Chain A
Amino acid sequence: MTSVLSRARTLQLVGALIAAALLVTFPIWSTPWEGSRYATSILRDMLILAILALSLDLLVGSAGMPSLGHAAYFGAGAYAAAIAGQRFGSDDLLLGLGAAILVSSLLALAIGAVAVRAAGIFFLMLTLAFAQMVFAVAFQAADITGGSNGFSGVRRPMLFGLDFNGPDALFHLVAVVFLLVLLLVWRIRSSTYGRALVGLRENERRMRALGYDTTRLKLSAFVLAGAIAGVGGALQAYSIRFVSTNDVGVARSVEAFVSVLIGGASTLLGPVVGAIVVLFIERVMPSYIAFAETVLGLVFIIFVLAARQGIVGMVRVAYARARA
């Protein structure tokens, strides 16, 4: 019995490693296809949105904290990486990522300190409103952020003498960071900490009765999710060597939220699948139809009405039924 189980485990691990290797090397093996360049850039953006959605799902799915302002931490990370590179005159990737993590987690700490005092719909309202405050600051502090013109001239990301600036190299970087984030989120979800977050969602009062400081637990999840979102933002800044106020805008927050719900909240791969679907609708479909955003809204409505468990959740149920 154990040998069968471990064999299944081994197969899973090998499969995951092959999938990871295929993902990272996508620009190389897809070269013969004429759409390779375009597909690489779309896939890169999907992975960046997936990082944002994965971090958001720690709040929405695991802890039951519906944040509708997650772009604030993504955008803060993007600006931090860009501005740190400029101020220190450095191309060091670790400096950029470090600045992104520092600034976005501090911001999450400040906003979270107020927002986690509210729950449910009120939490959603407050996170949305405070994210709009961050947007307003990014918009008005034009001497630092470039304001409505955006921040151009983001420095190239370099690590140990390797230059990640070309489209292929940048894709490798984004894919590797994405995989690391996926691994991290998987580890968090299966840890005692991750289970405590689920406890928050299921029954906060009982968690308090068990001796958990639930406010602190929520705040820590908020900061952690903010930090990961900040990493996504830094990658976004490096990808187009530009940061715009859109990166902190409501539309980005909604994109991430919709990704989590369409893909399946509280599942590991749900946010990833959701990010792929959302960017397919937003970036590929407009070449064919004018009303792609309407389609996104309708798809979202249908999922909320009829398939709240999302794509991955539905697949899981179908799989469980087929085995039973």
Chain B
Amino acid sequence: MTPETAVVQALNGISFGALLFILAAGLSLIFGMMDVVNLAHGAFYMLGAYITLTVVQRTGQFWLALLLAPPLIGALGLVMEPLLLRRLRGRHLDQVLLTIGVSLVIADLVGLTWGREIRSVPFPAGLDHAISILGGDYPVYRLFVIAFGVVLAVILAIVHRRTRVGALIRAGVQDAPMLAALGVDIDRLFAVTFAIGAALAGLAGVIAAPVFGIYPGMDVDYLIYSLVVVVVGGLGTLSGAVAGSALIGPIDTFGKVLFPQFALALIFAVMALVLLLRPTGLLGRIRIAR
């Protein structure tokens, strides 16, 4: 591996990690608050990418998709939480099973609506060029993904630490029943949390659309990526999502270059190793394994 390709792959890895962060942050947020692993998270992500496809085809405006898709998918989450999950509150495993059903439905409806072929979206205007890095061309859009992920992480951290919503989320993650006893409308808080998590998955789908592919099965692939990220980083904390994605993005990317034969299995080996050494994940507070 030449230094040039090493730098390019490092950037690829970091940009993939930035995307995984956007995705995993939503999954981790929902889990932290509700103790539910949303297995429809990949389906929300997929929906974000396909909505982007339609918006770009109709209007040519990627940025419009960025504005539209996350709130739309957030609204879906806002409906889904009271309609389905709330009915089984306290039965966490059954709530997780519900999300399997939802993901089956969404993936099938996406296939029926958009077809079952591989699709693509061009880079958005303004970010469709490449810049020269160490003599090679590098797409600016990937640098945008990195910047977007970093800015989002900072915003989420500020919301988390400095705002009333953040205080409610921190309190809810700590002890939701106590929060309810203190008079906070926990139903609303859960619905909003689920909606924000869903919107983050949709946002990741929009951001991913121009570079990481739009295809049937992307829901499962990225659900698994986000699960691995949160297990490695630690569930239920923002810093865990950061650590997990910062690790898994580059490992996966370099694995594909260095050991193409078993690259896809590499991140799972890392996951197993982390679980054996640190059962909470790197920065988590919940014991995943004994």
| Chain A residues in the interface with B (C-beta under 8 A) | 66, 68, 114, 117-118, 120-122, 124-126, 128-130, 132-133, 136-137, 139-141, 215, 250, 254, 257-258, 261, 290-291, 293-294, 296-298, 300-301, 304-305, 308
Cβ of B116 to closest chain A Cβ, rounded Å? 11
Extra contacts besides A122-B289, A140-B261, A308-B94 (10): CB < 8 Å: A117-B279, A117-B290, A121-B36, A121-B92, A121-B93, A125-B288, A132-B268, A136-B265, A140-B262, A293-B104
- Chain A residues positioned under 8 Å from B88 (CB to CB): 304-305
Contacts of B279 in A (CB 8 A): 117
Are B84's CB and A114's CB within 8 A?
Answer: no
A102 → chain B, closest Cβ, in Å? 21
* Chain B minimum-CB-distance residue to A306: B87
- CB of B110, distance to nearest CB on chain A (Å): 10
- B179 touches A (CB below 8 Å): no
> How many residue pairs between the two chains, A and B, have CB atoms under 8 Å in the bound complex?
117
Q: Are B105's CB and A297's CB within 8 A?
A: yes
> Contact at B227–A125, with CB atoms within 8 Å?
yes
Q: Do B100 and A294 have beta carbons less than 8 Å apart?
A: no
Q: Are A128 and B224 in contact (CB under 8 A)?
A: yes
Asked if B101 and A300 sit within 8 Å, CB to CB, the answer is yes
Once the chains bind, are A121 and B264 in contact (CB under 8 Å)? no
Min CB–CB distance A299 → chain B (angstroms): 8
In the bound complex, do residue B87 and residue A139 qualify as a contact, i.e. CB atoms below 8 Å apart?
Answer: no
With A122-B289, A140-B261, A308-B94: A128-B227 Cβ-Cβ less than 8 Å:
yes
A293 CB contacts on chain B under 8 angstroms: 104-105, 107-108, 111
Q: Is the CB of A291 within 8 A of B109?
A: yes
**Which of the listed residues B98, B271, B289 has the most CB atoms from chain A within 10 Å of its own CB?**
B289
Given contacts A125-B227, A137-B262, A300-B104, are A305 and B84 in contact (CB under 8 A)? yes
Which B residues touch A132, using CB under 8 A?
220, 224, 268
Contact B100 A257 (CB under 8 A): yes
Q: How far is the CB of B218 from chain A (nearest CB, A)?
A: 12
Verify B268–A297 contact, CB threshold 8 A. Answer: no
Instruction: Assess the B101–A304 pair: CB atoms within 8 A.
Output: yes
Q: Tell me the minimal C-beta distance from B260 to chain A in angstroms.
A: 8
Which size bracket describes the interface of B in this complex?
Answer: 35 or more
User: Is B263 at the interface (CB under 8 A from chain A)?
Assistant: yes
CB distance from B217 to the nearest CB of A (A): 9
CA distance A298 to B100 in the complex (A): 10
Query: Using Cβ atoms and an 8 Å threshold, which residues of chain A touch B265?
Result: 133, 136-137, 140
B68 at the interface (CB under 8 A from A): no
A140 to B: closest C-beta gap in Å: 6
Task: Provide the bound-state CA to CA distance between A320 and B43, in Å.
Answer: 41
Take A117-B275, A121-B37 as given contacts and tell me if A140 and B93 are in contact as well, using a CB distance cutoff of 8 Å: no
Is the beta-carbon distance between B94 and A304 smaller than 8 angstroms? yes
**Complex alpha-carbon distance, A28 and B14, angstroms:** 62
Given contacts A291-B109, A297-B101, is CB(A118)–CB(B290) below 8 Å? Answer: yes
Q: Provide 20 A-B residue pairs closer than 8 Å at the C-beta atoms, listed in order of the A residue.
A: A121-B36, A124-B96, A125-B231, A126-B289, A128-B224, A129-B224, A133-B269, A215-B290, A254-B100, A290-B112, A291-B108, A291-B112, A294-B105, A297-B104, A298-B105, A300-B101, A300-B104, A301-B98, A304-B101, A305-B87
CB-CB under 8 A from B101, the residues of chain A are 297-298, 300-301, 304
Q: For the complex, what is the distance from the CA of A295 to the CA of B106, rounded to whole Å?
A: 11
Would you give the shortest CB distance from A71 to chain B, in whole angstroms?
12
A261 vs B98: C-alpha distance in the bound complex, in angstroms?
Answer: 11
When chains A and B are docked, how far (Å) is the Cα of A293 from the Cα of B102?
11
Interface of chain B, helix or strand or loop or mixed? Answer: helix
How far is it, in angstroms, between the C-alpha of A199 and the C-alpha of B88 when the chains are bound?
A: 24
> Nearest Cβ distance between residue A205 and chain B, in whole angstroms?
12
Chain B residues with CB below 8 A from A296, complex form? 104
Contact call B268/A133, Cβ cutoff below 8 A: yes
Q: Are the C-beta atoms of B102 and A297 separated by less than 8 Å?
A: yes
Q: Which of B92, B104, B264 contacts A136 (CB 8 A)?
A: B264
Q: Which B residues, 97 to 125, have Cβ-Cβ distances below 8 Å to chain A?
A: 97-98, 100-105, 107-109, 111-112
State the CA gap A129–B264 with chains docked (Å). Answer: 12
Chain B neighbourhood of A300, CB < 8 A: 97, 100-101, 104
CA distance A141 to B265 in the complex (A): 11
Interface pair A250/B220, CB less than 8 Å apart? yes
The answer to whether A114 touches B227, judged by C-beta atoms less than 8 angstroms apart, is no
A261 to B94, CA, bound (A): 11
Set of chain B residues within 8 Å of A122, measured between Cβ atoms: 288-289
Q: Within 8 Å of chain A (Cβ to Cβ): is B171?
A: no
Q: Does B272 contact A (CB under 8 A)?
A: yes
A114 touches B272 (CB 8 A): yes
Minimum CB distance partner of A110 in chain B: B272
Tell me how far the C-beta of B67 lies from the nearest C-beta in chain A, rounded to whole angstroms.
Answer: 29
> CB-CB < 8 A to B268: which residues of A?
129-130, 132-133, 136
B209 on the A face (CB < 8 A): no
Residues of A within 8 A of B231 (CB): 125-126, 129
Separation of A105 and B231 alpha carbons in the complex (Å): 25
B residues near A125, Cβ cutoff 8 Å: 37, 227, 231, 288
Rounded to whole angstroms, the CA-CA distance of A308 and B88 in the bound complex is 11
Most chain A CB neighbours (cut-off 10 Å) among B87, B94, B268, B288: B268
Q: Does B258 contact A (CB under 8 A)?
A: no
Query: For residue B219, which residue of chain A has the nearest CB?
Result: A250
Task: List residues 177-232 of chain B with CB under 8 A from any CB of chain A.
Answer: 220, 224, 227-228, 231
Name the interface residues of B64-100: CB closer than 8 Å to any CB of A.
Answer: 84, 87-88, 92-94, 96-98, 100
